[in-house]
């Protein structure tokens, strides 16, 4: 369920593919200049936290849905 939702939203579970979806390109994070460009593009300011927030919401929705079946 969660995996399917992630694929539906981001197209792939791979970070480089998610980067392409969000930024229009992927970054080589082991390269200092690429990492700086990644950060400057808003990576940890809003892009990555947004992905993590979506995953947390979807997870909570799944858990609540599963729990409601037992209550």
How do residues 7-30 score in pLDDT, each as one tens digit?
A: 999 999 999 999 999 999 999 999
Longest Cα–Cα distance of the chain, Å, equals: 53
Residue range(s) defining the domain that contains residue 31: 2-70
pLDDT at 52: 97
Q: What is the pLDDT at residue 69?
A: 81
Please count the structural domains in the chain.
1
């Amino acid at each position: 369920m969660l995996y399917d939702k992630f694929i539906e939203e981001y197209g792939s579970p791979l970070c480089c593919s998610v980067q392409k979806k969000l930024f229009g390109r992927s970054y080589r994070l082991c390269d200092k200049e690429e990492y700086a460009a990644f950060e400057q593009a808003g990576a940890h300011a809003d892009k990555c936290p947004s992905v993590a927030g979506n995953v947390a919401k979807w997870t909570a929705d799944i858990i609540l849905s599963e729990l409601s079946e037992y209550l």
